[in-house]
Structure 1
Amino acid sequence: MKFIILILLMLLIPLNDTMANDKMAEDHTLTLNEEEIKQYAYPFIGTPFINEDKLHYLIEDLNEKVYKDPINAEFDEMGEIIQEKSGIELDENKFNTLFRTSFYAGDDMEIEVPKQPIQPRVDSELLAEISVQEMGSFVTTFKQSNVERTHNIGLASEAINDYVVFPGERFSFNEVVGERTEERGYMRAPVIVKGELAEDIGGGICQVSSTLYNAVDLKGIQIVERYAHSRSVPYVPPGRDATVSWWGPDFVFENMYNQPILVRAKADDGKMIVTIYSSDRVEYASDE
């Protein structure tokens, strides 16, 4: 009975940090030695068994250590394409095989944690191909003297710039731009709340979503979700706006073309410009 209680108590001990001292070379290579591997055994006498819960936490921890986001190809300020970069993640299948083989082998063995590349969504070849034909464009203006609002418009424009929407894929403004917070650089600026002017974090980004809405108003783009402000706004004609809020309305559209579309957005010199591009082979499915 005491032996069983001892086992249960040891199972409740959280994953210790001995593995945090892995040998990490300048190329971020991680290794596990035999002593580190054997700590993931149940405290049974005789043939060892792997504690799968602890191994699961180990895999999560290793992936956090090696993970690196891929970077999509994009345009620089001169219009030249910046090459994409692959990301890195833990090769879980290979790691599981190596870990279990080493664990049950019982000899002096060291594992080099296996990694695999993560390919970016957009490479330079694709970006070059879908930036050929202009599909639509729209321009709105804003007062640069309103520094906070101008700043927010610039941040949201950068978030949607060079974004690629693949055939059949939906674009969500809130998902792509993300939450508008002070931590992410957004500032307090005028917004419309229930028909009244107020100030809130991220004020001004509705001009970005509204400009985008007018630019993607094309026969091959299906507007899935759009909401109008509770009062007219000065930067677009009546009924041509698209209000957004992190905890409320979103602007969503779906690409119905046979090719990806590219969103180019820029806020400069008092102008908010959104232009939509695609391949010279772009077609709307209903035209076939």
Structure 2
Amino acid sequence: MGWNGLLAVLIALNQWMQPNLSIESRGEVVKDRISMTDYAYPLPVGPLVNEERLAKLMDQVAAKVEREPENATLDGAGRIVPENPGLKLERNAFKRLFYGYMLEGEPLRLEVPLRRIYPRVDSEVLSNIKVRQIGQYATYYNSRNRNRSSNIALAANAINNQVVFPGERFSFNGTVGMRTKEKGYLRAPVIVRGEMYEDIGGGICQISSTLFNAVDRAGLTIVERFSHSRRVHYVPAGRDATVSWYGPDFVFENRYDQPILIRSYAGGGTVSISIYSSELLELQPREVPGASRELPEEVKMDERSVIVE
């Protein structure tokens, strides 16, 4: 009998003699009653462990124990909220421990091996780049239109506290993501090929346009920017940046040698976006005209009173 056959026999004997395996993480049971018979190939010969089933087990364990790292952020008062490291399953170490159980019947309690994942933005980075405002822009909207106001606030929150490192590009669509009902976006006016319609997420172009003017004032490099097919009210002519999940995006690049921080707020009829960075940054600002405070007249769409996008 070869080594494979002998080891297969040992596994078969252990299946009758050894109790089930319990997988735990930091004092909590992740998965218990793991039986050898579920992860061994049938006798007489063959690979000792069913790798496909083991891979699925590791996926199940990872889904329960892994967590994404959380960047340090600023709260509404400008105070630093510390970062939180993430956790990642060490699959090779897990596999070694699992093989030990399959071949030797030990350990009976498997502590999930985890690796810390540190966030890109920690408190030290944030404390260095929150001190100096290098660009700012404000636009205005009619807060009586609740759907549009809600969409604007959601998009403003999505880009708030974003940090762009030197040489990196910021994508509005990539950061805000798809605008869906599940995320809370509502139907509001949008412009499509010069015509006005209602769609999920209407109004967020005011956030992308305000951001465009703020980063332009800060001297950052505009990589991708498109204007609407008709005039919009909230920025001067030619100073808008239309976005669509399946269409145009607004993208800029940080050409400085210091990270930059985006602070974004929308409420009470005002969108305010500021760009911050380090005192060490050699600023090269641009002149950008300010936005008008005059609000547009309301118009009828689908027999409901709304504000033109």
Into which bin does the TM-score normalised by the smaller protein fall?
0.7 to 0.9
Contact 2:69-2:87 within 8 A present in 1 as well = yes
Q: Say if 1:256 and 1:284, in contact at 8 Å, map to a contact too.
A: no
What aligned pairs does 1:100-119 form with structure 2 within 5 A after superposition? Answer: 100-107=99-106, 109-119=108-118
Q: 1:39 to 1:199 in 2, by over 3 A?
A: same
Q: Which residue of 2 aligns with 1:30?
A: 30
On the 8 A contact 1:266/1:274 being kept in 2, the answer is: yes
1:8-157 map, 5 Å: 27-28=27-28, 30=30, 35-37=34-36, 39-45=38-44, 49-107=48-106, 109-157=108-156
Could you list the runs of 5+ residues in structure 2 that have no partner in the other structure? 1-20, 285-309
Per-residue deviation, residues 35-85 of structure 1 (Å, max 9, x unmatched): 535522221325752222222222211111112222221111222111111
Contact 1:38 1:103 in 2 (8 A): no
* Percent of pairs with identical residues: 50
Note closer, same or farther for the CA distance 1:37–1:172 as it changes in structure 2 (3 Å cut): farther
Number of the residue aligned with 1:245: 244
Alignment partners' CA distance in 2, 1:231 and 1:269: 26
Q: Is there any run of 5+ residues in structure 1 with no aligned partner, and where? A: 1-20
- Partners of 1:219 and 1:232 in 2: CA distance: 25
1:271 aligned partner, one-letter code: T
CA distance in 2: counterparts of 1:93 and 1:152, whole angstroms: 45
Relative to structure 1, the CA distance from residue 192 to residue 50 in structure 2 (aligned partners, 3 Å threshold; closer, same or farther) is same
Alignment correspondent of 2:188: 189
Per-residue CA deviations over 1:199-246 (Å, capped at 9, x if unaligned) read: 111000000000000111157522121111001111111111110011
- The aligned amino acid for 2:69 is P
Q: Distance in 2 between matches of 1:228 and 1:96?
A: 54
**1:106: how far off?**
4.3
Q: Distance in 2 between matches of 1:200 and 1:129?
A: 40
Please give the residue correspondences for 1:193-208 in structure 2 after superposition, counting only pairs within 5 Å: 193-208=192-207
The residue matched to 2:182 in structure 1 has which SS? coil
In the alignment, what sits opposite 2:220? 221
- Per-residue deviation, residues 85-142 of structure 1 (Å, max 9, x unmatched): 1222212232122223333334564321112222122111111111111111111111
Kindly report the root-mean-square deviation, in angstroms, between the aligned alpha carbons of the 2 structures: 2.3
Say which SS state the counterpart of residue 183 (structure 1) adopts: helix
Deviates more, 1:176-185 or 1:79-88: 79-88
Tell me how far apart the structure 1 counterparts of residues 218 and 266 of structure 2 sit (CA, whole Å).
26
Rg larger in 1 or in 2? 2
Indicate the SS of the match to 2:35.
helix
More displaced, 37-46 or 153-162? 37-46
Q: What is the letter of the counterpart of residue 97 of structure 2?
A: L
Secondary structure at 2:98's aligned position in 1?
A: helix
Q: How many pairs were matched up?
A: 264
SS in 2 for 1:281: coil
Cα distance in 2 for residues equivalent to 1:138 and 1:274: 6
Normalised by the length of structure 1, the TM-score is 0.84
Rounded to whole Å, the distance in 2 between the matches of 1:208 and 1:219 is 16
Distance in 1 between residues matched to 2:25 and 2:93, nearest whole Å: 20
Give the match for residue 210 of structure 1: 209
Inter-partner Cα distance in structure 1 for 2:260 and 2:269: 26
Alpha-carbon spacing, 1:236–1:150, altered in 2? closer, same or farther (3 Å): same
Counterpart code for 2:30: L
TM-score of the pair, normalised by structure 2: 0.79
Shift in Å, 1:150: 0.7
Instruction: Output the CA distance in 2 between the equivalents of 1:26 and 1:52.
Output: 26
Q: For 1:122-168, what per-residue CA distance to the aligned partner results, in whole angstroms no more than 9, with x for missing partners?
A: 11111111111111111111111111111110000000001001111
Which moves more between the two structures, 179-188 or 73-82? 73-82
Contact conserved, 1:37 with 1:99, CA < 8 A, in 2? Answer: no
Give the drift of 1:187.
Answer: 0.7
Cα distance in structure 2, aligned partners of 1:41 and 1:152: 53
